[in-house]
């Protein structure tokens, strides 16, 4: 893990307001040191220096995170979320080495007014409150274009891309996609596990594919310049979306079903179709997702088993990382929101050994140091590493964000 970036001045979320008067205060999890540091890498001094150089000099893009700080008592998350005031992990981000992070906000836990999430008013409140906080500091900047990506890199700041894991909140209103674009959203999923007006989610037993309205929504996203994500969509809907989009498709956070046979992982057919159209896969690391037979206790090694499989299957130009981490107890969050996040259906009866955290990929501050460390230890070249930590994603965004 790096020292805090020089550009970061120590800002904490909502410090321009009076805590306990203007908003409810929660005891939050630490951004650094919540769990022991990863011990799985054996790097000599030259290799460690190379990791630091690649992390600090390269354009590093995470395709999927939730870089906010959760309550220390994770069972307080519902109450915390209902305030709409998620606190951004500015200090953790300052140590991450990331240039750009796709921030997918509260996603399926966005329950400000509804227990079920994904309501239009809740999503707008989530976006608005986060952007109000971001606007009061100068280290994290909102990214809406390729020029903003380069500005973040050149100025030593972190760029934040607003993303939504599903389009459920647009209901049958295609013009709401334009409104979300106006708010700054630059990446949207089709469906989040449950089917919606656009298509099927991965938990559905019968995936009918992309609907006619879904086709219309895909065309609108293409025209606006919104990157389309199919991480949580069903198999048929994934293939239909790839077929109907005129732009490359992202799978921002998933793995390979050829390594671990659950619905949450993508089939070889989907991965190949995505790559053939120029897209990129971001490898997932949320607890108990990208497991592998060789490393059934979820860790960096489990995730990298998916990495090597996917590089062999679709080529290194189409693989990247979307670790899907946060600051706090991610396993506890899954337990608290199991129904919202459709975790049982995603595992689809495949047994696994539960771990308290994903060793080596526990939070946004540590992910890319350990990923690059693994790649260095396994003799990948600088050019190959730069591709998978950001270059491949930038290539897709240059085509999609017109």
Task: Determine, yes or no, domain membership for 348.
Answer: yes
Task: Determine, yes or no, domain membership for 30.
Answer: no
Task: Determine, yes or no, domain membership for 252.
Answer: yes
Task: Determine, yes or no, domain membership for 98.
Answer: yes
The pLDDT assigned to 30 comes to 97
The 10s digit of each residue's pLDDT in 329-340 is 999 998 888 755
Helical pair 45-57 and 367-377, crossing angle rounded to 10 deg: 130
Whether residue 348 is predicted with pLDDT greater than 70 in this model: the reply is: no
> Helical H runs in 156-281?
175-183, 212-224, 235-244, 268-276
Domain count of the fold of the chain: 1
The 10s digit of each residue's pLDDT in 360-402 is 999 999 999 999 999 999 999 999 999 999 999 999 999 999 8
Concatenating the DSSP letter of every residue in 330-348 gives: HHHHHHHTHHHHTHHHHHT
Does 347 or 3 have the greater pLDDT score?
3
The confidence band for 344, taking pLDDT boundaries of 50, 70 and 90, is: low
Helical pair 120-134 and 175-183, crossing angle rounded to 10 deg: 20
Task: Determine, yes or no, domain membership for 303.
Answer: yes
The 10s digit of each residue's pLDDT in 247-285 is 999 999 999 999 999 999 999 999 999 999 999 999 999
Task: Determine, yes or no, domain membership for 24.
Answer: no
Whether residue 346 is predicted with pLDDT greater than 60 in this model: the reply is: no
The pLDDT assigned to 350 comes to 83
Whole domain around residue 235: which residue ranges? 45-400
Q: What mean pLDDT value characterizes the chain?
A: 95
The 10s digit of each residue's pLDDT in 115-155 is 888 999 999 999 999 999 999 999 999 999 999 999 999 99
CA–CA separation, 230 vs 95, rounded Å?
30
Task: Determine, yes or no, domain membership for 34.
Answer: no
- The model carries a pTM of 0.96
Give me the residues paired with residue 87 across strands: 69
The confidence band for 347, taking pLDDT boundaries of 50, 70 and 90, is: low
Which residues, at least 6 apart from 199, have a Cβ–Cβ distance to it below 8 Å?
Answer: 190, 191, 207, 208, 209, 210, 211, 214, 233, 234, 237, 240, 241
For the domain that residue 129 is a member of, what is the CATH number?
3.20.20.140
| 3-state SS track over 129-144 | HHHHHHCCCCCEEECC
Task: Determine, yes or no, domain membership for 147.
Answer: yes
The pLDDT assigned to 3 comes to 86
């Amino acid at each position: 893990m790096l020292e805090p970036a020089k550009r970061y001045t120590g800002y904490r979320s909502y410090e321009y307001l009076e805590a306990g008067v203007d908003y409810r205060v929660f005891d939050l999890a630490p951004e650094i040191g919540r769990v022991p540091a990863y011990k799985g890498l054996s790097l000599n001094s030259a290799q460690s220096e190379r990791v630091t150089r690649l992390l600090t000099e390269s354009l590093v893009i995470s395709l999927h995170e939730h870089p906010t700080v959760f309550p220390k008592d994770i069972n307080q998350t519902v109450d915390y979320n209902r305030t709409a005031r998620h606190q951004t992990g500015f200090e953790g981000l300052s140590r991450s080495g990331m240039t750009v992070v796709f921030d997918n906000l509260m996603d399926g836990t966005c329950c400000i007014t509804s227990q079920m999430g994904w309501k239009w008013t809740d999503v707008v409140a989530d976006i608005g409150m986060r952007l109000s906080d971001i606007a009061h500091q100068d280290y994290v900047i909102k990214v809406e274009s390729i020029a903003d990506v380069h500005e973040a890199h050149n100025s030593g700041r972190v760029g934040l891309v607003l993303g939504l894991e599903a389009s459920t909140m647009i209901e049958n209103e295609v013009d709401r996609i334009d409104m979300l674009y106006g708010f700054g959203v630059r990446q949207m999923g089709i469906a989040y596990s449950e089917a919606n007006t656009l298509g099927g989610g991965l938990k559905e037993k019968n995936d009918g594919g992309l609907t006619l309205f879904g086709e219309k929504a895909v065309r609108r996203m293409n025209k606006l310049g919104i990157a389309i994500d199919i991480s949580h969509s069903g198999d048929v809907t994934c293939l239909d979306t790839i077929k109907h989009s005129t732009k490359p498709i992202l799978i921002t956070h998933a793995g390979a079903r050829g390594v671990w046979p659950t619905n949450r992982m993508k089939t070889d057919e989907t991965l190949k179709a995505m790559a053939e159209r120029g897209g990129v896969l971001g490898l997932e690391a949320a607890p108990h997702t990208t497991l592998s037979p060789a490393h059934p206790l979820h860790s960096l090694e489990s995730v990298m088993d998916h990495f090597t499989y996917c590089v062999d299957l679709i080529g290194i130009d189409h693989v990247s990382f979307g670790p899907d981490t946060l600051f706090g107890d991610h396993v506890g969050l899954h337990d608290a929101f199991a129904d919202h996040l459709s975790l049982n259906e995603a595992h689809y009866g495949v047994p696994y050994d539960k771990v308290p955290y994903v060793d080596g990929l526990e939070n946004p501050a540590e992910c890319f140091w350990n990923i690059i460390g693994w790649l260095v230890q396994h003799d990948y070249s600088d050019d190959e590493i730069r591709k998978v930590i950001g270059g491949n994603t930038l290539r897709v965004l240059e085509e999609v964000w017109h």
